[in-house]
A = this chain, B = another copy of it.
Amino acid sequence: MQIHEFQEMMYRLYFHRDSERGTIGTYKWLTDEMRELGEALNSANRAELEEEFADVIAWLASLANLKGIDLEKAALAKYPNRCLKCGHAPCQCTF
């Protein structure tokens, strides 16, 4: 599934709830999911880890919907198949 399709799906499913919660509340929820992802990194439970990765990208898409940001367009502008700092793929930055 394309990144923008995933974001659009999140819009269809949850934008009404995301709008009620608002930007600050949704960002707070995203940071909670980030914390849970951090905890799951040390877990032997693979399914739990997959769920936490899923939650972070899902809440990130919800937040992008609230701000009217096209996540795919933004991602490819900054990461256009090469490193923007050194110009190479793979990145050859020395710092």
Q: Using a CB–CB distance below 8 Å, which chain A residues touch chain B?
A: 1-3, 6, 9-10, 12-17, 23-24, 27, 30-31, 34, 37-38, 41, 49-51, 53-58, 60, 63-64, 67, 69, 71-79, 81-83, 89-91, 93
Contact = CB atoms under 8 A, between A and B. Distances in A.
Q: Specify the main secondary structure of chain A where it touches its partner.
A: helix
A93 B6 CA distance: 20
A92 to B, nearest CB: 10
B67 A51 contact: no
Question: What copy number does this chain have within its complex?
Answer: 2
Contacts of A71: 53-54, 57
B27 A75 contact: no
A83 B57 CA distance: 15
